[in-house]
Amino acid sequence: MKDVTHLKTDFLEYLEIEKGRSVKTVENYDRYLRRFFSFAKVKSPGQITEKSVREFRISLNRSAGVSGTMKKNTQNYHLIALRAFLKFLRKRDVESLNPERIELAKTGGRDLDLITADELNRLIRGPQGDSLQALRDRAMLELLFSTGLRVSELCSLNQDLDLSRDEFSVRGKGDKVRVVFLSASAKKAVADYLKKRGDFGEALFVGYSSIKKGPSTPLGTSKDLSRLTPRSVERIVKRYATKAGITRKVTPHVIRHSFATDLLENGADLRSVQALLGHANIATTQVYTHVTDKHLREVHKAFHGKRRH
């Protein structure tokens, strides 16, 4: 009988190869399981018990985080990983805890970080001038709002984007391909940026801070160009949010929220928005409806409190 460490390795390989999960997901599952095994001092599958899981949950709930406790969603991620591991063991006829004995913690409704239309406009207008960096940043912000791309998807784009069309395909979570669409302003911003670049680097969005520029070499060479990371893009968005005088936290994902709410407020149906965002489950998309249902606000305004004087 293999110990849990070897079984975990088999499970993670199964997730990556047979289930097609992303490397990031596999890394997260590995981390969550290691945390449980370490806490419960589990060596064999038979040592995973309801009692050890319950004590682990209490530990997670009390663990110090930014707000004093770990968020319920994060706690659930640990339990989801453990449950998936137990289902894998059952499939391999390995005796352990029944995965159905693990229930997830109830979570409250998800709060959306939203910015106003005026704040969004100030944010996108932030990059000024025609320097390569300003053109890159303007293209990035326009593209985020036009397409609703995840920051990882934005960073994976290459310079060979076909701007003769108003759409392109992107490979998102779970290796799923979807079509996203370019607004006229996004297309122009990307075209202006690419025209100024003139190099043969592969990545669409690259860093320039380390490039030594001379009067006749404004671009550097392709070997100088490193693809921007999601963390770099987050820092750039934060800088322009501060410049625009937006006091709340603004990230690329907040721009994705703005993309979704803008569509719904202007009459788009939920299924279409689900497809444009690349959500596997429509329940994920439904989080936007409570902030965009203008019809209900209008009904309330038109019909509520008419008998009061």
| Euclidean distance between CA atoms 162 and 20, whole angstroms | 28
At how many degrees (to 10) do helices 23-40 and 4-17 cross? 160
- Is residue 173 part of the annotated active site? The answer reads yes
What letters, b where the CB count within 10 A reaches 16 and e where it falls short, cover 85-96?
bbebbeeeebeb
- Is residue 253 part of the annotated active site? The answer reads yes
As a residue count, the chain comes to 309
Which residue in the list 92, 173, 196, 227 is annotated as catalytic? 173
Which residue in the list 21, 57, 150, 197 is annotated as catalytic? 150
Q: Tell me the C-alpha to C-alpha distance, in Å, between residue 162 and each of 165, 170, 171, 194.
A: 6, 12, 16, 11
- Is residue 77 part of the annotated active site? The answer reads no
Dmax over CA atoms of the chain, in Å, equals 78
- Is residue 150 part of the annotated active site? The answer reads yes
Q: How far apart are the first and last CA of the chain?
A: 78
Residue 15 phi, psi (nearest 5): -60, -45
Which residue in the list 21, 57, 138, 256 is annotated as catalytic? 256
Active site residue ranges: 150, 173, 253, 256, 279, 288
